[in-house]
Amino acid sequence: MAAALGFVVAGVRLACADTCGAFSLADNESRTFHTGSVYRNVHICNNVLSQGDLTVIIVGRDPIRLAPGMCATQNGNQVTLSNQNSKGSVTVGICQVVGRNR
């Protein structure tokens, strides 16, 4: 089941066996991910070497600000990640937490 899930990035579904990914966000850049209509537990980390905080917004929840090296796990079907007010790029890791879905 996890192999068929994947994430939707900018309207394109990424179907893969591994439901994790890492990427960088430039200053003032945002990306939104959708897990489909089903809520999933999503684990998000701001890399310890990032040059600023990562803002995480999961639909229906308050925003979370993750300093470099911090992680959070939240349940939702849409995640927006933003690099606001940093002096450089922020490296993000995002995974679906397998086995804890609603």
Encoding tokens for residue 41? 């537990």
pLDDT score at 4: 33
d(CA 87, CA 98): 34
Tell me the pTM.
0.74
**Do the beta carbons of residue 42 and residue 92 sit within 8 Å?**
no
What are the extents of the domains in the chain?
2-96
d(CA 75, CA 98): 12
Looking up tokens 């796990």, which residue turns up?
A: 73
Look at the domain 2-96 and name its fold: Jelly Rolls (2.60.120)
CA 67, distance to chain mean position in Å, is: 14
**Do the beta carbons of residue 23 and residue 92 sit within 8 Å?**
yes
Three-class SS of residue 2? helix
d(CA 54, CA 82): 6
Encoding tokens for residue 22? 């890492």
pLDDT score at 15: 39
**Average pLDDT, 10 consecutive residues per value, the chain (102 residues):** 36 47 92 86 92 91 94 92 86 76 42
